[in-house]
Structure 1
């Protein structure tokens, strides 16, 4: 089987999708595109060209990106060779997400298009605050991944359930690199 050249990394918020995607891209010598950077415009508004950018990415020769955003998932899955599912325990992902969010708020970390995380108190007032949204959607990939595999039987799957699985996968991927 030839090496995958179009690779998706799936997982709930806080799983480490972007970090793993960058590591996979480096190991596979394939360009990485951060999907959040394509999606978010100023003031957290979706960029109008997002769908076109996703299609251009999906139809390009080689890439690694995160598998997120409902309108992007089917387009990306239809063109991907491999889906890497980072399926870490909820307690791990929620802890990571909370720490990351608090750190970003405290440091006023600029994210995409000049956006910063809102004040922490908004976790209590905003239904779609990242922490609340992550909790509400924490089991979504248990349905999304099997649906994608059913729709795309040739889509290979790597299911990583722990940090040890992730490290072993990366080590194997690096060993295969030319």
Structure 2
């Protein structure tokens, strides 16, 4: 297992889980938010973004976190495993509010340079609408995975230790 894609709603814990898996499995870590956002929350043009994601996904090994559904067609075929953090929206919204309160005005390591943590009401609305807008698309995408690709659906944070142990066992068996 050399390429693990971690997806899910904002606030689900993708970056934290990806960092833990990267450390535990000794795989390079790619935070897509760090790759996407430039100084001051600037965003790249779509063709440039797709080119960057293509180069990142082409690497031989990684743990990559981030949704960016517009690049699923690039990343999912390269993934050997997909971890979907399918947590309740109230949990995700609460986690983002807690993250903002803890880090307001500071740049987190999983974000781009000069992207200080801030409160964004439209981002909170996106989190709340995620189950209705993105969950069905994500479920359909996962149904189309190849037989050699593993999928892990996590519906509770209490399931994460078992997931980490399972992925460690799979890597050691490879």
TM range (shorter): 0.7 to 0.9
Q: Match for residue 86 of structure 1?
A: 85
Contact 2:15–2:31, Cα closer than 8 Å, also in 1:
yes
* Unaligned ranges ≥5, structure 1: none
Find the partner of 2:30 among 30, 33, 43.
33
Q: CA deviation at 1:63?
A: 0.7
* Unaligned ranges ≥5, structure 2: none
User: Matches of 1:90 and 1:132 in 2, distance apart?
Assistant: 10
Rate the CA distance shift 1:16–1:44 in 2: closer, same or farther, 3 A.
same
Aligned with 1:145: secondary structure? helix
Per-residue CA deviation, residues 132-151 of structure 1 (Å, 9 max, x unaligned), is 22112244442233222344
Per-residue CA deviation, residues 101-120 of structure 1 (Å, 9 max, x unaligned), is 22222xx11242202234x4
- 1:11 aligns to 2:8 (yes or no): yes
- 1:52 aligns to 2:51 (yes or no): yes
Number of equivalenced pairs: 166
- 1:165 aligns to 2:163 (yes or no): no
Aligned with 2:84: secondary structure? strand
> If you compute each CA radius of gyration, which structure gives the higher value, 1 or 2?
1
State the superposition RMSD in angstroms.
2.0
> Given the two structures, how large is their TM-score scaled by the length of structure 1?
0.82
- More displaced, 154-163 or 54-63? 154-163
Per-residue CA deviation, residues 11-49 of structure 1 (Å, 9 max, x unaligned), is 111110000011111222211111001100123121344
Contact 1:27–1:177, Cα closer than 8 Å, also in 2:
no
Aligned with 1:137: secondary structure? helix
User: Matches of 2:66 and 2:106 in 1, distance apart?
Assistant: 23
Per-residue CA deviation, residues 46-103 of structure 1 (Å, 9 max, x unaligned), is 1344322210111111111114113222210121111001112222111111111222
> Given the two structures, how large is their TM-score scaled by the length of structure 2?
0.84
Contact 2:5–2:81, Cα closer than 8 Å, also in 1:
yes
